[in-house]
C-alpha cells in the first residue's frame, strides 16, 4: 500500500437528481479500513442515494467524494470495481444463470477482455462461495433459489471481486432471522478479521446497535455520527423518525416505539 489514507471519505456532499429537490445537503462521512459502519435514518432520508454517491454511481453536485485519497470520479469503472463491491437491495439476477456463473461475474474487473477464466479465478470464486455457504447450490439456476440463498450468492459475487471496501444496501431486508444473523456475522468478520471497510444501510435499529459506529441521516443531513450508544438515543431518534421512540437499557440497547412491546 502507498501512504494514501485507507478510507472512503465524503466531504460536504450535495446531490440532486436532474431537476429534483436536493436529496443530500452537505453530508460528511468517513469509513476507515476495518470499520463496520451502519447507515440509518427514516425513509427518504437519502441513504440509498448516499450509497450511490459512495459507490461512484452518482456524482456529487457539490462537495468531494474520495477513496484512498483519490476522487471517486477519477476511478475508471474497472479500477473501482477492483477496490469496492456493492450488494444491492434487490439484486436483479438473470434466472437461468447458475449461482456459480453469477458469482463468477465478480471476477470481471480482474479479467482481460479476451482472457478466459484462469485457475486463480476459479479458486477465488470457490472460496467466496464456500465462505457464504453457497457452494451446495453452485450448479442451480438462481431463479430456483430462495431469497436467502440468492442473497448469499450476491454476497459471494461481491467477495469474488476481492474488494477492500464493501457497501451493503439493506442486506437483511428480505431475509428471515437466521439469514439476517448470518449476513450480519459475515459483515462483522469481513470488517474485523479481513480488514475491509464495511458500510451497510440498515432499517432495523436493533441490528444497528451491534455495529462499531452509526451514521444517522435525516433529510439529507447527518443528524448523528458515533458509537451506537450515542446515536441510538431516545430524544434524537424521536425527533428524526418523527415518532415517539424508547430505548431500553442494554447492552446492547433495545429500541422500540411506544406502539411496540
Partner 1 sequence: MPRQAVRAPDGAARRWAVRGGSLAALAAVLVAAVAVGSVPIAPGEVLDALVRGVRGRVEGTRDVIVWQVRAPRVALAAVVGAALALAGTAYQAVFRNPLADPYLLGAASGAGFGAAVAMVYGGTAGAAGLAALGVPGAAFVVAFATVVAAVLMARQGGRLPIVSLVLAGVVLGSSLSAATSFVMLTDRERTAGVLAWLLGSFSFAEWRDVAVVAALLAVAGPAGFAARRAFDLLLLGEASARRLGLPVERFVWAVVGAATLLTSAAVAVAGVIGFVGLVVPHAVRLAVGPEHRDLVPLSLAWGAAFLVAADLLARTVIAPVEVPVGIVTALVGGPFFLILLRRGRPT
Binding site for partner 1 (CB under 8 A): 55, 57, 76-78, 80-82, 84-86, 88, 91-94, 96-98, 100-101, 105-106, 108-109, 111, 113-114, 122, 125-126, 129, 135-136, 138-139, 157, 161
Q: Which of 113, 259 has the CB closer to partner 1?
A: 113
Q: In terms of residues, how long is the chain?
A: 261
Cβ count within 10 A of residue 200: 25
Min separation Cβ 92 and partner 1, Å: 5
Long-range contacts made by residues 43-50, C-beta under 8 angstroms, separation at least 24? 44/219, 45/217, 45/218, 45/219, 45/220, 45/240, 46/15, 46/217, 46/219, 46/220, 47/201, 47/217, 48/89, 48/169, 48/201, 49/15, 49/23, 49/24, 50/10, 50/13, 50/24, 50/217
Alpha helices in the chain (DSSP H): 47-54, 77-83, 99-104, 119-131, 147-160, 177-192, 205-208, 228-231, 234-241
Shortest distance in whole angstroms from residue 101 CB to partner 1: 6
Task: Report in angstroms how near the CB of residue 52 gets to partner 1 at its nearest.
Answer: 8
Q: Rounded to whole angstroms, how far apart are CA atoms 204 and 102?
A: 28
- The smaller minimum CB distance to partner 1, of residues 98 and 238, is found at 98
CB contact at 8 A, 81 and 164: no
Shortest gap between Cβ of 112 and partner 1 (angstroms)?
A: 9
When the beta carbons of 86 and 183 are compared against partner 1, the nearer one is 86
**Minimum CB distance to partner 1, residue 15 (Å):** 16
Min dist. Cβ of residue 118 to partner 1 (A): 13
Give the C-alpha separation, 152 to 140, whole Å: 13
Among candidate residues 213, 115, 114, 105, the one with its CA nearest the CA of residue 159: 105
Q: Which is nearer to partner 1, 163 or 253 (CB)?
A: 163
Q: Which is nearer to partner 1, 160 or 216 (CB)?
A: 160
Min separation Cβ 30 and partner 1, Å: 21
- Asked if 145 and 94 touch (Cβ cutoff 8 Å), the reply is no
Output 125 or 247, the one with its CB closest to partner 1. 125
Nearer to partner 1, 170 or 233 (CB): 170
Amino acid at each position: 500500500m502507498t501512504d494514501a489514507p485507507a478510507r472512503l471519505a465524503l466531504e460536504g456532499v450535495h446531490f440532486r437528481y436532474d431537476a429534483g429537490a436536493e436529496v443530500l445537503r452537505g453530508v460528511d462521512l468517513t469509513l476507515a479500513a476495518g470499520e463496520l459502519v451502519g447507515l440509518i435514518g427514516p425513509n427518504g432520508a437519502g441513504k440509498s442515494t448516499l450509497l450511490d454517491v459512495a459507490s461512484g454511481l452518482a456524482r456529487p453536485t457539490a462537495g468531494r467524494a474520495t477513496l484512498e485519497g483519490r476522487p471517486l470520479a477519477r476511478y475508471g469503472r474497472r479500477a473501482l470495481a477492483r477496490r469496492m463491491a456493492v450488494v444491492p437491495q434487490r439484486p436483479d439476477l438473470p434466472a437461468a444463470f447458475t449461482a456459480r456463473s453469477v458469482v463468477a461475474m465478480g471476477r470481471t474487473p480482474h479479467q482481460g477482455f479476451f482472457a478466459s477464466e484462469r485457475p486463480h479465478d476459479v479458486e477465488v470464486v470457490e472460496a467466496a462461495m464456500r465462505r457464504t455457504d453457497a457452494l451446495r447450490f453452485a450448479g442451480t439456476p438462481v431463479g430456483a433459489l430462495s431469497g436467502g440463498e440468492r442473497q448469499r450468492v450476491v454476497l459471494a459475487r461481491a467477495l469474488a471481486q476481492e474488494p477492500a471496501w464493501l457497501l451493503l444496501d439493506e442486506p437483511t431486508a428480505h431475509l428471515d432471522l437466521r439469514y439476517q444473523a448470518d449476513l450480519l456475522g459475515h459483515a462483522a468478520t469481513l470488517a474485523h478479521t479481513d480488514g475491509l471497510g464495511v458500510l451497510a444501510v440498515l432499517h432495523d435499529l436493533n441490528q444497528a446497535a451491534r455495529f462499531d459506529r452509526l451514521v444517522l441521516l435525516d433529510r439529507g443531513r447527518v443528524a448523528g455520527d458515533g458509537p451506537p450508544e450515542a446515536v441510538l438515543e431516545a430524544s434524537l431518534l424521536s425527533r428524526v423518525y418523527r415518532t415517539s421512540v424508547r430505548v431500553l437499557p442494554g447492552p446492547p440497547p433495545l429500541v422500540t416505539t411506544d406502539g411496540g412491546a
